[in-house]
Amino acid sequence: MQAKGAKFAVLASGLSVPHKRRVFARRRLAGASALVAALILCWWVAEVHPSALFEAGAMASVWSFLRGLFPPDLSLGFLRVTVAAVGQTLAIAVVSTVLSIVIGLPLGVLSSATLWRRGVLHEGENESSGMHLIPVVSRLSRALLGFLRAVPDLVWALLFVVGVGLGSLAGALGLAIAYGGVLGRVYADVFDDVDSRPVEALYASGATRAQIFLRAISPQAGPRITAYTLYSFECSLRAASVLGFVGAGGIGYEINLSMRLFDYGQVLTLILAFVALLSANDALSRFLRQRLSTGAPGRSSVRRLMESALSSAVEWTPRGRSHAVGGAATRIMWLIFATAIFASFYAIGFADGRLFDVGILERAARFLGAMFPPDLDLAFLSSLVKPFFQTIGISVIGTLIGIAFGAFFAPFATSTLVFVATDAAGKHSLAQRGARSLIYYAARLVLTLLRSIPELVWVLICILAVGLGPFAGTLAIGIHTGGVLGKLYAETLEEIPLKPIEALRASGARPLQILFWGMWPQARPMLTSYTVLRWETNLRVSTILGLVGGGGLGQIIYINIQLGFYARLLTLIAVIYGLVLAADGITDRLRRRLASA
Amino acid sequence: MIYTLNAVTKVYPTRGATVRALNGVNLEVSAGECVALIGQSGVGKSTLFRLLNATQRPTGGLLCFNGQEVGKMSGRELREMRRTVGTVYQQHYLVPSLSVLDNALCGRLGSWSLLHTVRNAMSPAKHDVEVAMGVLESVGLADKRRVRADELSGGQQQRLAIARALMQNPDVMLADEPVASLDPALAEAITNLLVRLVTDSKRTLIVSLHGIELARRHFPRIVGLRQGTVAFDVQSASLNRDMLDEVFQPDRPQMQIKESTQTDASQGRKICCAR
Interchain CB distance below 8 Å, B114 and A208 = yes
Instruction: Walk me through the domains of chain A, giving residue ranges and CATH numbers.
Output: 84-121+132-278+357-369 (1.10.3720.10), 372-596 (1.10.3720.10)
- CB contact under 8 Å between A208 and B79, yes or no, is yes
Which residue in B78, B84, B114 is closest to A126 by CB distance?
B78
Q: Is A205 on the interface with B (CB under 8 A)?
A: yes
Lowest mean pLDDT of A71-75, A95-99, A507-511, B118-122, name the range: A507-511
Q: What is the reported pLDDT for A424?
A: 52
The predicted model scores a pTM of: 0.81
Contact A206 B80 (CB under 8 A): yes
Are B109 and A202 an interchain contact pair (Cβ–Cβ within 8 Å)? yes
A451-466 mean pLDDT: 89
Least confident of A202-206, B137-141, B250-254: B250-254
- CB–CB contact B93 A198 (8 Å): yes
What digits encode the pLDDT tens for the residues A236-261? 998 999 898 888 888 999 998 998 89
ipTM: 0.86
Q: Which position has the higher pLDDT, B130 or A120?
A: B130
Percent of chain A having pLDDT more than 90? Answer: 32
Of the pLDDT bands very low, low, confident and very high (cuts 50, 70, 90), residue B252 is low
Average pLDDT, integer, range A69-85: 91
**CB distance B214 to B127 below 8 Å:** no
For residue A471, is pLDDT > 90? Answer: yes
Higher pLDDT, B138 or A424: B138
Distance from CA of A202 to the nearest CA of B (A): 7
Instruction: Residue window 173-192, chain A: list those with CB within 8 Å of chain B.
Output: none
Q: Mean per-residue pLDDT for A42-55?
A: 83
Of B79, B93, B112, which has the smallest distance from its Cβ to A200's Cβ? B93
- pLDDT category, A481, cuts 50, 70, 90? very high
Cα–Cα distance, A581 to A381 (Å, whole number): 19
Q: Annotate A326-392 with three-state secondary structure.
A: HHHHHHHHHHHHHHHHHHHHHHHCCCCCHHHCHHHHHHHHHHHHHHCCCCCCHHHHHHCHHHHHHHH
Q: What is the pLDDT of residues A65-75, one digit of tens each?
A: 889 888 888 89
Residue A501 buriedness (CB in 10 A; 0-12 / 13-18 / 19+) = buried
pLDDT confidence of A477, banded at 50, 70, 90?
Answer: very high
Report the alpha-carbon distance of residue A155 to residue A170 in Å, rounded: 11
B contacts of A210 (beta carbons < 8 Å): 114, 117
% of chain A exceeding 70 in pLDDT: 86
CA within 13 Å, CB half, A131: 17
From A114-118, A590-594, B154-158, the region with the lowest mean pLDDT: A590-594
CA distance A539 to B205: 61
B53-83 per-residue burial string, b: 16 or more CB within 10 A, e: under 16: bbbbbbbebebbbeeeebeebeeeebbbbbb
Mean pLDDT is lowest, of A235-239, A332-336, A414-418, A425-429, for A425-429
Which one of A130, A197, A211 has the shortest CB-CB distance to B91? A197
The predicted structure's pLDDT at residue A129:
53
Question: What pLDDT does residue A321 have?
Answer: 38
pLDDT at B154 over 50: yes
- Per-residue three-class SS string for B49-107: HHHHCCCCCCCEEEEEECCEEHHHCCHHHHHHHHHHEEEECCCCCCCCCCEHHHHHHHC
pLDDT in tens, A310-323: 444 333 333 333 34
Per-residue pLDDT, averaged over A518-536, amounts to 86
pLDDT digits (tens, 9 = 90+) for B192-245: 888 888 888 888 999 998 888 888 888 999 999 888 889 888 888 888 888 888
pLDDT at res. A516: 83
Q: What is the mean pLDDT of chain B?
A: 84
A214, closest residue in chain B (CA to CA): B118
Q: Closest residue of A to B80, CA-based?
A: A206
State mean pLDDT over B139-158: 88
Q: What is the pLDDT of residue A510?
A: 79
- Chain A's closest residue to B70, CA to CA, is A126
* Residue A133 or residue A179, greater confidence: A179
Q: Is the confidence at residue B148, as pLDDT, over 70? A: yes
- Using a CB-CB cut-off of 8 Å, the residues of chain B touching A13 are none
In terms of Cβ atoms closer than 10 Å to its own Cβ (0-12, 13-18, 19+), residue A365 is exposed
CA distance A283 to chain B (A): 26
The answer on pLDDT for B257 being more than 60 is: no
Chain B CB contacts of A205 below 8 Å: 82-83, 86-87, 106-107, 109-110, 164-165, 168
Indicate whether B264 pLDDT > 50. Answer: no
Q: Which domains does chain B have, with CATH numbers?
A: 3-94+170-274 (3.40.50.300)
Q: Identify the closest residue of chain B to A294 by CA–CA distance.
A: B97
